[in-house]
């Protein structure tokens, strides 16, 4: 069964993966060398996609959805361009979570996660997207294999979102776990909005991925929900330990 599911990762997956890699590379180059221009272009493209997907299609409550998406644009762009290193790591991390969830879900399949909002997402995909990265980081730390990439990740991603430069390994793993969940919550949030305005994708500028909104959904979730989830999970763990 698993073998057949693995084989079913056909050209659609290859197309998605290749353009995902190209997307990350171009994002890196664009943000590093054209930071101000990248910020402007991102705002323009996201705004145009939001407008054409809601108001121009005469969607019910189109102005309300457009206003919500514009508010999200402000939060996304303001946080994403704190520094270009943060933007790069955030895009790469969110894309990795998205890809791991997609691959795990396609191979294992199983029950759907929230079929009424996103019918293609599975429980297995959510679990894979949530736990694979923390597990890999734990193994790398255990074998003392964390290198400059780990330092870049901690200083320019975890450090910025937690507003402090030094974190313990247990805190790092807990935050990564929170961030992988947050990335998928962003995906679910944008899927919910698309379901409400009755569109499959916000655009088609990125082959195999849809529009920019369809790519920045997990980035948005990472920025918006990582720290609140980290605080919530930390509180639950501390409360549980104190009452044992």
Residue 100 lies in a domain: yes
Helical residues (DSSP H) of the chain, grouped into ranges? 2-7, 11-33, 35-54, 62-80, 84-108, 123-142, 148-153, 159-162, 169-197, 212-242
Residue 55 lies in a domain: no
Residue 78 lies in a domain: no
In sequence order, the 6+-apart residues with CB closer than 8 A to the CB of 143 are none
Burial (0-12, 13-18, 19+ Cβ within 10 Å), 88 = buried
148-195 tens-digit pLDDT? 566 667 777 788 888 776 777 888 889 999 999 999 999 999 888 888
Helix (H) or strand (E) holding 112: strand 112-114
Residue 72 lies in a domain: no
The confidence score (pLDDT) of residue 206 equals 65
Report d(CA 71, CA 8) in Å as an integer.
Answer: 39
107-154 tens-digit pLDDT? 888 899 888 888 888 999 999 999 998 888 888 777 766 665 666 677
Q: Characterise 221 by phi-psi region: left (phi > 0), alpha (psi -120 to 50), beta (else).
A: alpha
Domain limits for position 11: 2-31+83-242
The confidence score (pLDDT) of residue 16 equals 62
Has residue 213 got a pLDDT over 90? no
Give, as one character, the DSSP assignment of residue 156.
I
Beta bridge partners of 221: none
Residue 171 lies in a domain: yes
The confidence score (pLDDT) of residue 10 equals 55
The confidence score (pLDDT) of residue 84 equals 76
What are the two backbone dihedrals, phi and then psi, of residue 101, each rounded to the nearest 5 degrees?
A: -65, -40
Length of the chain: 244
Residue 21 lies in a domain: yes
How many structural domains does the chain have?
Answer: 1
Residue 11 lies in a domain: yes
What average pLDDT score do residues 206-235 get? 84
For the beta carbon of residue 101, count every other beta carbon within 10 angstroms. Answer: 26
Residue 69 lies in a domain: no
């Amino acid at each position: 069964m698993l073998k057949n599911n693995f084989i079913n990762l056909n050209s659609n997956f290859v197309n998605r993966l290749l353009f995902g890699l190209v997307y990350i590379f171009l994002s890196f180059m664009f943000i590093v060398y054209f930071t101000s221009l990248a910020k402007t272009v991102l705002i323009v493209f996201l705004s145009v996609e939001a407008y054409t997907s809601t108001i121009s299609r005469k969607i019910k409550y189109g102005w309300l959805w457009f206003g919500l998406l514009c508010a999200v644009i402000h939060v996304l762009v303001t946080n994403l361009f704190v520094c270009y290193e943060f933007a790069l790591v955030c895009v790469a991390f969110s894309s990795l979570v998205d890809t791991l969830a997609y691959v795990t879900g396609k191979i294992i399949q199983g029950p759907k996660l929230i079929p009424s909002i996103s019918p293609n997402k599975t429980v297995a995909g959510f679990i894979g997207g949530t736990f694979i990265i923390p597990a890999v980081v734990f193994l790398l730390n255990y074998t003392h294999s964390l290198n400059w990439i780990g330092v870049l990740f901690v200083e320019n991603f975890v450090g910025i979102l937690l507003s402090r430069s030094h974190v313990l390994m247990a805190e790092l793993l807990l935050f990564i776990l929170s961030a992988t969940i947050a990335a998928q919550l962003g995906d679910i949030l944008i899927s919910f909005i698309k379901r409400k305005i009755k569109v499959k994708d916000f655009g088609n500028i990125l082959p195999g991925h849809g529009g920019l909104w369809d790519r920045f959904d997990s980035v948005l979730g990472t920025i918006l929900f990582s720290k609140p989830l980290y605080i919530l999970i930390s509180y639950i763990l501390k409360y549980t330990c104190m009452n044992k």
